[in-house]
Amino acid sequence: MGWPAAVQGSIGTPIMRYFLDTEFNGFGGALISVALVPEHGDDDFYASLPLPDVIEPWVERHVIPYLRHVPPGLDHELSRIEAADHIAAYLDGDSDPVIIADWPEDLAHFCALLTTGPGQMAAVDYGLRLELINAAGFSAAANSRVPHNALHDARALRDFYVNN
C-alpha cells in the first residue's frame, strides 16, 4: 500500500502519529500525568507523577479524582526520570514519531519531561517531531470519556483528529 507523502517519514516509512495530553498543577504548575495514544492500534502510554505538596483547588477538584481512571496495566506512578525513560522506550520502535497536541503547554511539559538533568535527556536518539494543531471545535471536556484524565483526553484528541 502506498502512503501519501504527508504520512511518510524521512526514509519513506509510514509515520506514526502519537496524540499527547498532560495534566498539570495549574498554569505553569508541575506535571501530574502524561499520555501518548497512537493513531493506529491500542498500545497507549500513561503515567502519573508524584503529586506536588500544594495542589491548586481547581486541579484538586477536577483532575486528582480521575488520575487512576485508566485500564488495568496502564496505571503507573513513576518518577520524572522513570517516566522519561519509559517514554523513550515506548517510542523506540518508531524511527520517525510525530507527537501531536492541541495545547502548547502539553508540548512544553513533554519536552521538559524528556530533559532529565543538566545537559541530559531521555534516550530519544531516533529523534521525534512535535506538532501543535489547530483543534478548533474540539473540547476535551466535552469529548473525553473521562475529562481531565490525560489518557482519555489524548484518546478524544486522536478521535477528533482522525475523524476531521
Q: How does pLDDT run across 47-62, given as a tens digit for each residue?
A: 999 999 999 999 999 9
- From residue 38, alpha-carbon distances to 27, 51, 86, 159 in Å are 27, 26, 15, 11
β-strands 115-117, 120-121 pairing: antiparallel
124 CB burial (10 A radius; 0-12, 13-18, 19+): middle
The CATH homologous superfamily of the domain defined by 17-163: Ribonuclease H-like superfamily/Ribonuclease H (3.30.420.10)
Enumerate the domain spans of the chain: 17-163
For the whole model, what pTM was predicted?
A: 0.90
pLDDT one-digit tens code per residue, 92-145:
988 889 999 999 999 999 999 999 999 999 999 778 999 999 998 899 889 999
Q: Higher-confidence residue: 5 or 16?
A: 16
